[in-house]
Amino acid sequence: MTERGLAAVTTGLVLAILGGGCSNPPPDRPALVSRTQSGSNLLLVTVDTLRRDRVGAYGSTAGLTPTLDALARSGVRFTRAFSHVPMTLPAHASILTGRTPVGHGVRANGTYRLNDGIPTLATVLKASGYRSGAFVGAFVLDARYGLSRGFDEYDERYGQSGRSTFAFAERRAADTVQAAGDWIVSSGAAGPWFAWIHLFDPHAPYDAPVEYRAGRSPYDAEVAYTDAMIGRLLDRLRAARALDRTLIIVTADHGESLGDHGETTHGLFAYDATLAVPLIVSGQGVEARVLDGTVGHADLLPTMCDLLGIAPPPHLDGHSLVAPPEADRLVYFEALDAALTRGWAPLTGVASARWKFVDLPERELYDLAADPGEARNLAGQDFARVKMLSDAKHAMVAQAVATAAPAAAAAPDDEATRRLRSLGYVATATGRQPASPVEVSIADDPKRLVQLNERFNTALSAFNEGNAGEALAGFRAVLAERPDFLSARTSAATVLLASGHARDAVTLLRQAPASQASSPDLLAKLGVALREAGDLAASAQALERARAAGAQNPELANDLGVVYARLGRARDARLLFDELLRVDPDDASAWNNLGVLELSSGRQADAARAFRKAVEADPERGDAWQGLGAALLGGDRPAAIDAWRRAERLLPRDFDLLFNLGVVLAEGPSPREALPYLQRFVREAPRGRYGPDIARVEAMIRRVQG
C-alpha cells in the first residue's frame, strides 16, 4: 500500500485526531496536469544541504536565491515538502526511485549500494527514448553507490583528495553546471534529454568564492553562490533555446541544522531544519501555484512520469502530485546513521501538514502549526495522537518492506573513507540491520548524545586542519565514553594509519566490543590496517571476511585485489579488477590498480592501456598518470615524461615522482629542463628519508648547470 493508500484507509481517524488541511482553496484549474509535458526535456536540479528557510520564495528576506525565487513565481511551489532522510545518498535514492529508504534499502552514506534490480528515473526515461546525463558535485554520489544506472553520461569528475584528511572530493557548482550545460547544448535536437545536476556547495565545509561572502555567513554565502550558478546555467540554456520545452524540478536532498537543537550539520536528527526541503516545479504549461499538501521525495518520480506521459515502475512508495495529496497525508522519515554507525537508538517517524511524530526511546510530538521550531514536545500530553501516529508509521513501514528490494550493504575502503567527510559522512556500519529489534534505552537516545556527536565532529575537523594529535585524543575520549562508537574507532584508526602507526591501528580495531567483531566495516578497515602493517595474509583474510559478511562496495574488492597482487596472487587480483570493470567500465580506481598489477607483472603494454583508461575516466588522478609514465618509459620516453609532468602537477609532494622526473629529464636531450624539478627536490624533500638522493641530485644540478 502506498502512503496515499494508507491515508485513504485511515481518513476518518486521521481527520478526527490530526485536523488541518491545505491552506489554499482548490483552484479552478489544476496546477499540474497528466501528460502535458509529453515529449519535453527534463531538468532535475538537487541542491545539497539547502535549508528551506534560506529560499526567498519560502520567506527569507536575505536575497540569497533570486533564481529559485523566479522559478517559484512561474511554477508550482510546495510548502510542505520533506526529505525522507537527512543524508545525501539515501535521499537521492528516494528522489530517483520513488521509494522511501525502507523501500529502496539505502539507509546511509558510504555503506550501501542501490540494488541493481530497482528501476530508477534514468532507467525508466532511457527505456522511453531519452538521452540522459548526470553531473554530480561530490564523491558521496559516486557511481559505485548504484545511482548511475540508466545514464548515458555520469559525470563525477571531481578529482582526488589528499590521503591525510577526512574531507572528500568535490567540485564547485561553476564546474558542475559548465559540464552539464556542455552536455545539454551538445544534445541538439535528436529527441528529448534528461539531465540531473547535483550541486554540493552548501554542504560543510563552507567555502564560497570570495565575491559571495561580504555581509553573509559562510553557509549563506554558499547558498547565494549556488543560486547564482543555477542562474548562469538557465541563462545559457535559454540562449541556446534548450529550455523551450523543458520541465524543471528543483529541490534539496536535505537541510542543515546550523546549531538548531544542538546539531551543527545534519544526519543525527529529523527536525525541519534538516528534513524540510524546497520543492519547485516549473515549465511550459505548469500553472503558477502554491500548494500546501504534505509531500515527500518519493513522490517526485511518479510525478515526473505522470507529467511526461510515461508509465512509472511498480511498487512505489510515493504517488503522483498531479492528484493533490489528501489533507491528512502522512510522510515517513528516518535518520538511522547514528544507529548504524554508533549503536544509538534508531530514529524514525511521520509528518503531516500539522503534526510530526518522532519515534525514539524518548518520543517526540510537535504541533508544527503552533510550534514551527519544534521546541515543545507534546508526546507526554497527547497519548492518543502518539499511538495513532506510531501505529500508522508501523503500517507504512510494513507495507514498504513487503515490496522492498534490499540494497547491497557496502563497506568503504581506505580511499572511500578518506573521501567521505563525516560531519555525518564517515559511515561505518555496526552490523545491525535497520529493521532488526535493537535493545536501546533513553541513554541511547540521540538527544542525550548530541554533545558526543559534536565532539566527534570536532575531532574530524581537527584532523582535516592538520592537527592529528588533537584529533586522535578526541576520538579516544569519545571511545572512552562509548566504546561501541564504531565510527570514532575507525576514524581513530585512519589517523593512526596516516601518521604511520599501522600496528597501533590494528590494536585499536581489535579492541572493539565483541558484538562488533563481525562488522563488515570493522573488518574492512582492519584489512587495510593489516596491509599497511605488512601482514598481507591476515589482511586478505579480514577483507575476505568482510565480503563474506555481505559488504559489496566495489572498493572493498579493489582493496582485496591490491592485497592479492602484493601476495603474488596475480590471477585472483585480475579476476577482482575485471569483475569491478564489468559493473563499471569507468571505474578509475580499478583501472589504476589493474595497471599497477600489470606493471608489476612486467606487462608494460597492458599496464599502459589500463593506466590510460584510468586517466580517461578521471583526468585528475595523479597516481594513474604516474603509473602511465612508468609503463611508457621503456618504449616512448617523450610520452612518459609528459605523463609524469601531468602527475607532478597533481601530486606536488610526491618526492619519488619528482626525483624520477628530474633524473629522466637530466639524462635526456634537454637536460636544463630538469633543473626546476631537481632544485625543488633538494629544497623540499625530507632529508631524513632522501639524504643520499639529495646528495646525488645536488651533483646532478652542478653537472647540468655546467
DSSP 171-213: --HHHHHHHHHHHHHHTTTSS-EEEEEEE-TTSSSP---GGGT
Determine the pLDDT at residue 21: 36
Banded pLDDT at 87 (limits 50, 70, 90): very high
pLDDT at 436 over 90: no
What's the CA gap between 139 and 427, in Å, rounded?
13
What's the CA gap between 511 and 26, in Å, rounded?
62
Dump the DSSP string for 114-127: --TTS--HHHHHHH
pLDDT at 163 over 70: no
Determine the pLDDT at residue 310: 98
Banded pLDDT at 341 (limits 50, 70, 90): confident
What's the CA gap between 112 and 126, in Å, rounded?
24
Q: Write the pLDDT tens digit of every residue in 188-236.
A: 667 899 999 999 999 999 999 999 999 999 999 999 999 999 999 999 9
CATH superfamily of 3-361+387-402: Alkaline Phosphatase, subunit A (3.40.720.10)
What's the CA gap between 645 and 438, in Å, rounded?
54
Select the more confidently predicted residue: 433 or 562: 562
The residues, ordered by sequence, that sit 6+ positions from 431 with a Cβ below 8 Å of its Cβ are 515, 516, 518, 519, 520, 521, 522, 549
What is the average pLDDT across 530-538?
97
SS3 content of the chain, % helix, strand, coil (to 5): 50, 10, 40
What's the CA gap between 342 and 445, in Å, rounded?
11
* Identity of the residue numbered 126: K
Select the more confidently predicted residue: 522 or 425: 522
List the beta bridge partners of residue 135: 155, 197
The residues, ordered by sequence, that sit 6+ positions from 273 with a Cβ below 8 Å of its Cβ are 51, 255, 256, 257, 258, 260, 261, 263
Contact 60, 54 (CB under 8 A): yes
What's the CA gap between 196 and 198, in Å, rounded?
7
Determine the pLDDT at residue 464: 85
Query: Lowest mean pLDDT: which of 79-83, 280-284, 355-359, 406-410?
Result: 406-410
What's the CA gap between 153 and 436, in Å, rounded?
38
What is the average pLDDT across 75-84?
98
Write down the mean pLDDT value for the chain. Answer: 89
Angle at which helix 570-583 crosses helix 588-600, to 10 degrees, equals 160
Q: Give alpha helix (H) positions in 603-670.
A: 604-617, 622-632, 637-650, 655-666
Q: Write the pLDDT tens digit of every residue in 615-634.
A: 998 888 999 999 999 999 99
* Burial (CB count <10 Å: 0-12, 13-18, 19+), residue 582: exposed
Q: Write the pLDDT tens digit of every residue in 470-502.
A: 999 999 999 999 998 999 999 999 999 999 999
Determine the pLDDT at residue 409: 53
pLDDT at 4 over 60: no
CA 507 centroid distance within chain: 30
pLDDT at 103 over 90: yes
What's the CA gap between 335 and 108, in Å, rounded?
9
Determine the pLDDT at residue 423: 31
Select the more confidently predicted residue: 140 or 410: 140
pLDDT at 3 over 50: no
What's the CA gap between 243 and 442, in Å, rounded?
53
What's the CA gap between 468 and 162, in Å, rounded?
14
Q: Which three cell numbers stand for residue 399?
A: 507495507
pLDDT at 83 over 80: yes
pLDDT at 8 over 60: no
Select the more confidently predicted residue: 540 or 582: 540
How far CA 466 is from CA of 147, 436, 699, in Å, comes to 33, 39, 35
Banded pLDDT at 420 (limits 50, 70, 90): very low
Determine the pLDDT at residue 428: 44
Determine the pLDDT at residue 406: 64
Q: Which of 121, 120, 130 is nearest to 40 (CA)?
A: 130
What is the average pLDDT across 607-619?
93
Instruction: Compute φ and ψ for 626, nearest 5 degrees.
Output: -65, -45
pLDDT at 16 over 50: no
Residues of the chain above pLDDT 90, percent = 76
The residues, ordered by sequence, that sit 6+ positions from 426 with a Cβ below 8 Å of its Cβ are 110, 166, 341, 417, 420, 460, 487, 490, 491
| C-alpha count within 13 angstroms, C-beta hemisphere, residue 214 | 1
pLDDT at 17 over 50: no
Q: Give the number of other Cβ atoms within 10 Å of residue 698's Cβ.
A: 14
What's the CA gap between 184 and 197, in Å, rounded?
11
Select the more confidently predicted residue: 239 or 417: 239
What is the average pLDDT across 7-26?
34
Banded pLDDT at 165 (limits 50, 70, 90): low
CA 28 centroid distance within chain: 41
Cis peptide, bond prior to residue 66, ω within 30 of zero = no
Determine the pLDDT at residue 421: 34
* Spans of all domains in the chain: 3-361+387-402
Determine the pLDDT at residue 562: 92
What is the average pLDDT across 276-291?
94
Select the more confidently predicted residue: 410 or 4: 410
What's the CA gap between 572 and 376, in Å, rounded?
59
